[in-house]
Structure 1
Amino acid sequence: MSQSQQKRAQKCVSCGINIAGTSAATFKCPDCGAQIVRCAKCRKQSNLYECPDCGFMGP
């Protein structure tokens, strides 16, 4: 899968919306290093997220 296809397939880990074409944040999980993707709305509202790989929860 190409990088652009991966971006289109990504969803916010907090609310589940498709993040293609949005100002989403992508970062590594502090515990395991897995990729976390969050939409701008969830980041602004400080909604909790859970790492899909290790279960780490953050603000």
Structure 2
Amino acid sequence: MSTTDETRARSCVSCGINISGTNAAAFKCPDCGVQIFRCAKCRKQSNLYECPDCGFTGP
């Protein structure tokens, strides 16, 4: 795993905060299957996210 992948894996894709040890959601991108992490605050506020690999956007 590269440094970029490691940073991405520990950060909310919407706001960029470190999600280690938080109540974050992990799911696969509906288009390409890449693992995406979102913090509880962004999920609750329905902030948009964009897949870093394919550009898919969702609520």
Report the TM range for the smaller structure's normalisation: 0.7 to 0.9
* TM-score (normalizing by structure 2): 0.85
Q: Deviation above 2 Å: which 4+ runs of structure 1?
A: none
* TM-score (normalizing by structure 1): 0.85
CA RMSD after TM alignment? 1.3
Percent sequence identity is: 83
Aligned mates of 2:20, 2:34 — CA distance in 1: 19
Structure 2: runs of 5+ lacking an equivalent: none
Structure 1: runs of 5+ lacking an equivalent: none
- Give the aligned length: 53
